[in-house]
Copies of this chain bind each other. A is one copy, B any other.
Amino acid sequence: MVKGENRVAKRRGQKYEQIIEAAVKVIAQNGYHHSQVSKIAKEAGVADGTIYLYFKNKEDILVSLFQEKMGRFIQKIEDELAGETSIEEKLLLLISMHLQQLEDNHALAIVTQLELRQSNIELRNRINEVLKGYLKLIDTVILLGIKEGIFSEELDVRIARQMVFGTIDEVVTNWVMKEHRYSLVALAPSVHKMLLKALSK
């Protein structure tokens, strides 16, 4: 049996939030490999053992962190998209909001673009599960575009989605690696223009 497997973690509570915020801060500052549980606990103002009342294990902090942050991230984009009518606007909105949300939270950007990717394959798979929600959202936009006759019906939706996500993700990663020295969201129109052309008839 894997350690801690049969522990029941509380999914809510003030400390739950504290610990997640502490994890983002500590990981962004110190890097994934120097972010010991004890450091996160200290930053969160709780004892080491308390972490394990709220999370099954260290990996669970990271997955939960990603779930919480990504959940809101997707929710916000979904909400905004609902209000837009044209497919072109929807695509621009998706790109802009993706870039905006990460530009608004440098620490989170470092964590999602660099640090969390240093995790092992198993954790990466669980992170990808969370990411699926976002990828579905992209699919929805692409499918709608095809349905509305704006995007090419010959598109391989899977490949198209990989292009959209791969492009935005690469743009963000480059921005993080360049230490946020320029405006990220300002790149949205340029990215949008290219992606729109790529997808259009």
Contacts and interface: CB of A to CB of B under 8 A. Distances in A.
A32 B119 CA distance: 10
Interface stretch (A10-18, A62-70, A84-92, A159-167): A159-167
Contacts of A170: 162-163, 165-166, 169-170
A50 interface: no
Task: Report copies per complex.
Answer: 4
Given A1-B34, A117-B118, A170-B166, A159 B187 contact: yes
A44 to B, nearest CB: 16
Contact of A171 (B34, B118, B162, B199): B162
A159 B177 contact: no
Interface residues of A, number: 40
A182 to B, nearest CB: 10
B167 A162 contact: yes
A31 B1 CA distance: 12
A195 interface: yes
Contacts of A118: 117-121
A159 B167 CA distance: 9
A200 to B, nearest CB: 7
11 contacts: A1-B34, A155-B194, A156-B187, A159-B194, A162-B171, A163-B170, A165-B170, A167-B167, A170-B170, A194-B198, A197-B197
